[in-house]
Amino acid sequence: MTDRTQVVADAAWQPGEAVKERSRLLAALRAWGFSDDRAGFQALNRKAIADPEWFWRAVTADLGVEFSTAFETARDESDGKPFPRWFTGGRINVADLCARRHAQGDLSDKTAVIYEGDGGQRRTLTFAELDNEVERFAANLTGLGVRRGDRVALFMPVVPEAAVAFLAIAKLGAVAVPTFSGYAADALATRLQDSEAVALITADGTTRRGKTIDMKSTADAAVDASPSVRSVVVIRHLGTDVGMQDGRDVYYDELPSDPAPVPTASMDANDPLCIVYTSGTTGRPKGIVHSHGGFAVKTAVDFAYGFDVHADDVVCWITDLGWLVGPMLMTGPLQLGATIVMIEGLPIHPTPSRMWDIVNRNGVTVQGIAPTAARALRAAGVDAIVDVPTLRSFVSTGEAWDDPTWWWLFDEFGGRRRPIINYSGGTEVGGGILVGYPCFPAAAAAFSGPLPGVDVTVLDDNGDDVAGEIGELAVRNTFPGMTHSFWNDRDRYVATYWQRFDDVWVHGDLVSVDAEGMWRIHGRSDDTLKLSGRRVGPAEIEAAVLRDPRVAEVAVIGVPDEMRGQRAVAFVVLRDAAESHDDLQETALANAGKSFAPTVIAVATLPKTKNGKLMRRMIRSRYLGEPAGDLSSLDPATPLDDIPTRTN
């Protein structure tokens, strides 16, 4: 980790005294003997990297991550650096952290979970109610034959029962396998088969854009192809009629209301909590394994120090169980005693102001938002602008920002009073690597530093550190939350992240860090373009194209070119397809510059994942007429067919 100056000349966000006084990170710095500024944080992180034994003990004590049996060693790398064991000898269970201890303490009657549906539904659970439901469902899962170590898949919308199920599985010592609610049967079956799940928890259906989506028939087809699944629990979410198979299927609400209680499993800190699958362009999905100890500590660190979440906060995020943010939301804020808001549907349906109405109705203080969602809100115009007095900050993740949208959210909507906490990491590390701390100054769309305990750097193609240039985001140490491996595939895990440079985790993102310590993400390294001899991320060109006010969305890819080796192609979605756009190419040239100007192609939609990420690699495959690979995470509302195939 390199020292950087305290002054940020181009800072857009400057924290006021109230933000600093509230900050959990600054309070921890003072308590541990460091100055409460960026220099103090840099000194802390150097010590954390050099002395992880001291640091992670200090963190678990400060954040109240309670082990039922105290751990002996914070980190053990005796099995090799890619396979550290965390909090060895310690016993812990996420269900106790997130539900039981609060239900038995001062937070018993505090609201823990709020659900908002796009049809106006709203349901809540207090911590006491959450704990009661977790106890009941864990006992009923036991009655269905689920045992410690068994895998239980979740194919369901983000309803309160999702949090109940996730924690009930943890309580038993079984392993949750959260999946996207929009998967087709084949994609779901692949995950059921790979994890050898013994049970599936699903729902009759869900809604998206007001349309009913049948989930049970998809679940049935997937289970038919997955012989390990013995039981299917169905939540009556929409109240639609679905087929039920005798001896296998049971409705959630028809399970015994007062089953014999079962004990909470005493889990080794390194025992698996969940397997979160990620998709690639080739090969089967990767099952990312997270443990009770590592995931609990990582989510506590990110939400408490990175986002400054306290017990009096209400944290809202439009997410899905299949995206890591789903499990994070049910683990990080809940263990800190905060309230979570789970939203089904989209931020601008059924009204342009839906997200902000939810914020006001529930007193949300921290709102998670992806740049894609912000662009949709911006495109909705003045109807999407609502006063939100309780909202203290935004947290942004999922993709890189374009400057116009960032400034709209920060300046025009937020009035420069609310930081946009930029956050980047991934499923494989259990959360974040970089963050824009609300207690420190930050430049627009940038990150002010690594999460605590992360030794992050930028490497060139030779593995050398580079300053001020775009390079590979890499991590030189290990920290709690990093996956223990891929499920049943250690070799593929090592080959994916640890083989390029000795004992260095290569994350797959292109980044740069300037002289003032501001980090920026430039896209995935496998999306890199090399134009005019310079390596450039697609986000840089996309930001230039988005300066044209007619452009709502854009995705840039690199394609082979006989003369230049590679050229950029920009696929743009226009705000008004009927408006004249004959000069789009000239505008792109003016905004991006001659060396990087892309060929512009107007399309109806851009393919995205179900959590809103642009699927650039699939766009490239479609345009070049190559196999697209695994399409299981594609949002059906953004079909790949809208991308034309190159004709020359």
**What is the per-residue pLDDT across 418-442, written as a single tens digit (0 to 9) for each?**
999 999 999 999 999 999 999 999 9
Tokens for 402, please give them.
Answer: 């374009």
Distance CA(385)–CA(406), nearest Å, equals 15
The pLDDT of residue 648 is above 70 = no
Q: Considering the domain boundaries, does residue 496 fall inside one?
A: no
Check: CB of residue 472 under 8 Å from CB of residue 458. yes
Distance CA(481)–CA(428), nearest Å, equals 8
Q: Considering the domain boundaries, does residue 169 fall inside one?
A: yes
Q: What average pLDDT does this structure show over 96-114?
A: 98
The pLDDT of residue 376 is above 90 = no
Tokens for 510, please give them.
Answer: 């292109």
- pLDDT bucket at 2, cuts 50 / 70 / 90: very low
Q: Considering the domain boundaries, does residue 324 fall inside one?
A: no
CATH code where residue 157 lies: 3.40.50.12780
pLDDT in tens, 574-631: 988 877 778 888 888 887 776 678 889 999 999 887 667 788 878 888 888 887 766 7
Q: Considering the domain boundaries, does residue 256 fall inside one?
A: yes
Q: Considering the domain boundaries, does residue 277 fall inside one?
A: yes
- pLDDT bucket at 208, cuts 50 / 70 / 90: confident
Of 268, 301, 334, which closes a domain? 301
Q: What is the pLDDT of residue 452?
A: 98
Q: What average pLDDT does this structure show over 248-255?
A: 98
Q: What is the pLDDT of residue 610?
A: 65
- pLDDT bucket at 92, cuts 50 / 70 / 90: very high
The pLDDT of residue 1 is above 60 = no
pLDDT in tens, 337-364: 999 999 998 888 888 899 999 999 999 9
Q: Give the β-pairing of 534-536 and 551-561.
A: unpaired
Q: Considering the domain boundaries, does residue 151 fall inside one?
A: yes
Tokens for 524, please give them.
Answer: 């995935």
Choice among 28-42, 74-88, 183-197, 232-246 with the minimum mean pLDDT: 183-197
Q: What average pLDDT does this structure show over 11-20?
A: 95
- pLDDT bucket at 282, cuts 50 / 70 / 90: very low
Q: What percent of the chain has pLDDT over 90?
A: 68
Q: Considering the domain boundaries, does residue 71 fall inside one?
A: yes
Domain count, the chain: 2
Of 249, 266, 301, which closes a domain? 301
- Domain interval for residue 258: 64-112+125-301
Of 271, 301, 331, which closes a domain? 301
pLDDT in tens, 365-374: 999 998 888 8
The gap from C-alpha 490 to its chain's centroid, in whole angstroms, comes to 23
Q: What is the pLDDT of residue 627?
A: 78
Q: What is the pLDDT of residue 9?
A: 65
Check: CB of residue 65 under 8 Å from CB of residue 297. yes
The pLDDT of residue 469 is above 60 = yes
Mean pLDDT for the chain overall = 91
The pLDDT of residue 46 is above 90 = yes
Q: Which residues lie below 8 Å from residue 488, measured CB to CB, with a gap of 6+?
A: 194, 287
Residue spans of alpha helices (H) in 367-440: 371-379, 403-407
The torsion of the CA quartet 245, 246, 248, 254, rounded to 10 degrees, works out to 100
Choice among 163-177, 232-246, 523-537 with the minimum mean pLDDT: 523-537
CATH code where residue 612 lies: 3.30.300.30
Distance CA(114)–CA(327), nearest Å, equals 15
Between 111 and 10, residue with greater pLDDT: 111
Q: What average pLDDT does this structure show over 406-412?
A: 92
The pLDDT of residue 255 is above 90 = yes
pLDDT in tens, 502-547: 999 999 888 899 999 999 987 776 666 767 556 676 777 888 888 8
Say what angle helices 24-31 and 52-63 make with each other, to 10 degrees. 130
Count the residues in the chain. Answer: 648
Q: What is the pLDDT of residue 114?
A: 98
Between 187 and 132, residue with greater pLDDT: 132
The pLDDT of residue 392 is above 50 = yes
The pLDDT of residue 305 is above 90 = yes
Q: Considering the domain boundaries, does residue 507 fall inside one?
A: no
Distance CA(75)–CA(95), nearest Å, equals 23
The pLDDT of residue 73 is above 90 = yes
Q: What average pLDDT does this structure show over 129-156?
A: 98
- pLDDT bucket at 198, cuts 50 / 70 / 90: very high
Q: What is the pLDDT of residue 3?
A: 45
